[in-house]
Structure 1
């Protein structure tokens, strides 16, 4: 049964997620729920991994850690989550990521509690699935079937972009009216906006931030930067992030003789401060659920050169707030770098407009408020 209708207490929402590691969904969850004003959030993670747990607790949020070590362990996850639901008596359940979504939907259905699902990536696109291991690819059809079969148990869904809404809705046969777009946000207070300056003779410094995986397109960027250097020999490119293709990217840098020009910075936890050391942000990703790294660059005031994927088109308007290049095209990335070099003043003016747009549409407090209001409405409305 759902929580009591006695509103002497705030409505309670139980968030169910795979882990509390430092992924995008997990960090976004933390950023939003600590800003809730009218609901009591409770968090449960089903699987082992709790790097962010203490930060939730520090904000007075109860966290239930099941810590399952099996890859799936669905029967055990269902039994333990159901016990937590019986204890907490939430008014609504919000689930993130496929494993947790499947378990939460069944628990919610048999506990008569409304469930809200989440779409945080273009889950069934070719670009997204190209990064999966062969074992994971074999399981995609099964999980798509399970996802589609249980989607009807959800009262509604939140999607982080309209592109993600459309692609997942189509793949799973969900009425578009059941999916609301609630973007991810950023706290502008964390970023120091600097009006971009054009300084003649100053070497250009380019930055990319992202996990080192093929889908992020860093190989394309390094190849393009190599083609760009004859026109701008003093420029440097730094890439912040870590991941499984670090060795192959290092080998490429060495092969091209770019050791003094392209630097892999490794994983960084000071991105908001790091951004301000650069002149331009380049993001060549082949697929993104949202494009948070690009948004952070916009908040910091950097001109952005980005791939023309759907997620970026919801953040950036070509030649108004940034510059698009063709996804996966080394030649197009090279042309974007050359355009930036030859149009610094224009690019910097666009960066100011991009910052204004980011503050208007992606301020974290507004995003959190929109999510909370949506969940309250889903509790109050009967069907």
Structure 2
């Protein structure tokens, strides 16, 4: 449904008219504009359920919070992608906790099939795949590298992704004199292949909703090192599928990477355990089934 401007005030009427013509039972929205348009449209036509899918944590502007709080009563359910974002949904969106549930992201287990470990390779490669923006915390990963290579000069890092921080991060690599250890791969569309190529995955994010890329890395049987932010603690089991560290803490990241390098067998055992955890709890089939059950509960 095209819009004429950033917030097209005719869209709630158009959406309500469309929903009425379809006699829609379920309306599902995600992100601020769609959520508010969907909520306002229910004054024209109220389906059996208006459901919002929430994946973002606490980055709303004042007027966005107010709009959510004014329309929170129109939502029959808000689906959170992790338990850890419930407080944000309750506080910033003003949502009744009785109308919140969690359905985790799911990963395609065939597309992200288990990959064999790399044995007897000259380099141990840590990889990360994320937009090069402040949120993803690449600076703290790079600042950890000098300490790691003092003891483990065979370690290497590959960063997949593009973004506004690219030049700043390149300058930091030069400043830290770690050019021979770090490779910027740019934007890539072959993440499943990259995950198989890497020995371990690192995600130094400052905040998340639920980091889907960790799921993908674990599905590919890779151990993960991640900051203990929203969602990560519900996915990573410390010293079983990987390690969790404090955010904005380069020293903690360095210690975690050195711990994995000191015990390379963990790359294989933690990777296998991560794959099993994804199969048991985070498959796309499980996600679809839980959404189906939610929809059926309203019709």
TM (normalized to structure 2)? 0.94
Report Cα offsets for 1:177-211 as digits up to 9, x if no partner: 21110011111100231243543x63111100111
Matches within 5 A, 1:1-383: 65-66=1-2, 68=3, 70-73=5-8, 75-113=9-47, 114-122=49-57, 124=58, 129=59, 140-199=61-120, 202-378=122-298, 380=299
Residue 350 of structure 1 aligns to a residue whose secondary structure is helix
Q: Give the drift of 1:293.
A: 0.8
Displaced runs of 4 or more, over 6 A: none
Paired with 1:254 and 1:106, the residues of 2 have a C-alpha distance of 52
Shift in alpha-carbon separation, 1:257–1:118, aligned structure 2, 3 A: same
Q: Do the aligned partners of 1:157 and 1:179 also contact (CA within 8 Å) in 2?
A: yes
Q: Do the aligned partners of 2:16 and 2:44 also contact (CA within 8 Å) in 1?
A: no
Residue 103 of structure 1 aligns to a residue whose secondary structure is helix
Residue 42 of structure 2 aligns to a residue whose secondary structure is helix
For structure 1, the 5+ residue unaligned runs are 1-64, 130-136
Paired with 1:265 and 1:89, the residues of 2 have a C-alpha distance of 49
Paired with 1:238 and 1:301, the residues of 2 have a C-alpha distance of 18
Report Cα offsets for 1:15-73 as digits up to 9, x if no partner: xxxxxxxxxxxxxxxxxxxxxxxxxxxxxxxxxxxxxxxxxxxxxxxxxx41x252222
Paired with 2:13 and 2:44, the residues of 1 have a C-alpha distance of 12
Q: Give the drift of 1:170.
A: 3.1
Paired with 2:136 and 2:279, the residues of 1 have a C-alpha distance of 25
Give aligned pairs, total: 298
Residue 340 of structure 1 aligns to a residue whose secondary structure is helix
For structure 2, the 5+ residue unaligned runs are none
Report Cα offsets for 1:75-134 as digits up to 9, x if no partner: 122233233223332111111001110010111232121311121111x2xxxx4xxxxx
Paired with 1:279 and 1:188, the residues of 2 have a C-alpha distance of 19
Q: Do the aligned partners of 1:192 and 1:276 also contact (CA within 8 Å) in 2?
A: no
Paired with 1:160 and 1:329, the residues of 2 have a C-alpha distance of 26
Paired with 1:230 and 1:264, the residues of 2 have a C-alpha distance of 21
Shift in alpha-carbon separation, 1:198–1:326, aligned structure 2, 3 A: farther
Report Cα offsets for 1:269-324 as digits up to 9, x if no partner: 11011111110101110101101111100000111111111310000111122111
Which stretch of structure 1 is more off in the superposition, 234-243 or 188-197? Answer: 188-197
Paired with 2:289 and 2:111, the residues of 1 have a C-alpha distance of 19
Residue 239 of structure 1 aligns to a residue whose secondary structure is strand
Cα RMSD over matched residues?
A: 1.6
